[in-house]
């Protein structure tokens, strides 16, 4: 059954994975690979997530029920608008969450994170918190979408750090804040000839 706002141009790509599952993940919308295979996260960004990021957290794809905020493909793979996000997510996600009953849900990207009022991906990424989503309650972990690292390689290190930092939390539920490697800022005017000397004195 399609959602009330569905244009019915493409078949919905529903959630896929173990049920019940300890972990759930919600992305943006299916791309062309997902539309062809009928399974979320099987394209390039899905493979990147499966092979690079999940293992850093000690997870495998077989442990995670994966879905999307919007279930239908769109020409040009455009970002869903607010009407699509609200209508499609409210139609499908409550039933999926109720069926899967995950303990932890990863929200992958800005569209998925918009489902939680007040959540700011830019400042909250990688940090677990207790929250609710369509009546479900548990731990929510906002993360950048794995496609971001493919499109802009400068973001890959952020993604790698976020997923790697999750592993001890997943095991202990004790969050350890990142430690500032340079807690004491040293501002000084250094001439060209003094740069080498400065770094020799401050390795």
Residue carrying the six token digits 């173990």: 18
Residue 70 located in a structural domain: yes
Per-residue pLDDT at 24 exceeds 90: yes
What SS3 state is found at 129?
Answer: strand
Residue 8 located in a structural domain: no
Q: What is the pLDDT of residue 191?
A: 63
Residue 155 located in a structural domain: yes
Residue carrying the six token digits 């993940």: 25
What is the rounded end-to-end Cα distance, in angstroms, of the chain?
Answer: 62
Contacts of 43 (CB under 8 A, 6+ apart): 31, 32, 33, 34
DSSP state of 17: S
- Work out the burial of residue 21: count CB atoms within 10 Å of its CB; fewer than 13 is exposed, 13-18 middle, 19 or more buried: buried
Q: What's the CA gap between 125 and 199, in Å, rounded?
A: 33
Residue 66 located in a structural domain: yes
Residue 195 located in a structural domain: no
Residue 188 located in a structural domain: no
Q: What is the pLDDT of residue 75?
A: 85
Per-residue pLDDT at 37 exceeds 80: yes
- Work out the burial of residue 62: count CB atoms within 10 Å of its CB; fewer than 13 is exposed, 13-18 middle, 19 or more buried: exposed
Residue 203 located in a structural domain: no
pTM of the model: 0.84
Q: What is the pLDDT of residue 138?
A: 97
Q: What's the CA gap between 103 and 22, in Å, rounded?
A: 5
Per-residue pLDDT at 87 exceeds 70: yes
Per-residue pLDDT at 1 exceeds 90: no
Query: 91: pLDDT confidence band, cut at 50, 70 and 90?
Result: very high
Number of domains in the chain: 1
Query: 185: pLDDT confidence band, cut at 50, 70 and 90?
Result: low
Residue 69 located in a structural domain: yes
Q: What's the CA gap between 114 and 108, in Å, rounded?
A: 10
- Provide mean pLDDT across the span 44-63: 96
- pLDDT tens profile 128-143: 999 999 999 999 999 9
Question: Which of these ranges, 5-19, 21-35, 84-98, has the smallest mean pLDDT?
Answer: 5-19
Residue 81 tokens read as 């608008």
Range of 174's domain? 23-178
- Computed over every residue of the chain, the mean pLDDT equals 89
Q: Give the domain CATH number at 132.
A: 3.40.470.10
Per-residue pLDDT at 93 exceeds 60: yes
Which value, in Å, is the radius of gyration of the alpha carbons in the chain? 20
Per-residue pLDDT at 180 exceeds 60: no
């Amino acid at each position: 059954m399609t959602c009330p706002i569905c244009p019915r141009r493409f078949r919905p790509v529903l959630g896929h994975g173990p049920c019940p599952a300890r972990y759930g993940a919600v992305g943006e919308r299916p791309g062309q690979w997902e539309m062809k295979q009928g399974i979320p996260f099987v394209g390039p960004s899905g493979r990147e997530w499966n092979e690079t990021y999940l293992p850093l957290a000690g997870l495998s794809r077989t442990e995670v029920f994966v879905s999307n905020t919007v279930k239908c493909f769109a020409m040009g793979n455009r970002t869903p608008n607010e009407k699509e996000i609200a209508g499609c997510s409210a139609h499908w996600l409550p039933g999926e969450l109720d069926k899967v009953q995950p303990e932890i849900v990863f929200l992958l990207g800005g569209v998925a994170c918009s489902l939680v009022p007040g959540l700011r991906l830019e400042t909250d990424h990688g940090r677990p918190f207790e929250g609710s989503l369509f009546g479900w309650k548990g731990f929510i972990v906002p993360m950048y979408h794995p496609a971001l690292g493919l499109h802009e390689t400068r973001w890959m290190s952020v993604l790698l750090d976020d997923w790697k930092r999750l592993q001890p939390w997943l095991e202990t539920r004790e969050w350890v804040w990142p430690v500032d490697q340079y807690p004491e800022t040293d501002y000084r005017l250094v001439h060209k000839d003094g740069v080498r000397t400065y770094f020799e004195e401050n390795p």
